[in-house]
Amino acid sequence: MKMFNPIKEYLQNHNHKKIIYNLLMIIIVCIIGLITWDTLFPIKNSNKNQDISIQNTKEEDISQNNYQDTAQVQLKQILGQIKGVGEVEVMVTYEASTEVVPASNITKSTQITEEKDAQGGTRTTTQDDSSQNMVMSGQNDKLIVIKEIKPQIRGVVVVAEGAGDIMIKTALIEAVQTIFQVPAHKVMVYEKK
């Protein structure tokens, strides 16, 4: 305890109130400094949420483009297999993008209060509360998707060799109608140069 002896001597020789006042001022300055530091240099948790939402948006865009591209490639391959049809080009347009339905926890509660006063009157109060939270997967904070609603097809254009023949043109229209479940007026078939 020899190393504490100089501190004990200092405290005994000097005014205790002045030392306590100085220590209190140092503590107050440190607290103000910490609050200021936190305000000027906040922790970047919001960037993590932004990165997750940007990543989810990019994945949805890629998924949507893959669906649309895959549909066009498959249609082109199928139509190219029809007898009398040569080279085929296809364009499919959509009403909107793919709609994603995320999983969510929904909490609903109803509270009914009935009050009676001394004169025999009654008052009924109903209070409904509900809250909804999106469900995220535990490993990488990614939204859990219940279902994806594919976009409605606005129209299909087919340009094919051999489409000048009415039988081939009819076969192409019927094939597109069957594949996409669209009416004939949304399908246009043209002969390729």
pLDDT tens digits, 77-99: 999 989 999 999 999 988 887 77
**Count of C-beta atoms within a 10 Å radius of residue 75:** 20
What pTM did the predictor assign?
Answer: 0.50
Angle at 66 between CA 148 and CA 61, to 5 degrees: 65
Q: What's the first-to-final CA gap in the chain, in angstroms?
A: 102
User: What is the C-alpha separation between 135 and 143, in angstroms, rounded?
Assistant: 6
DSSP symbol at 97 = -
pLDDT tens digits, 126-137: 888 888 888 887
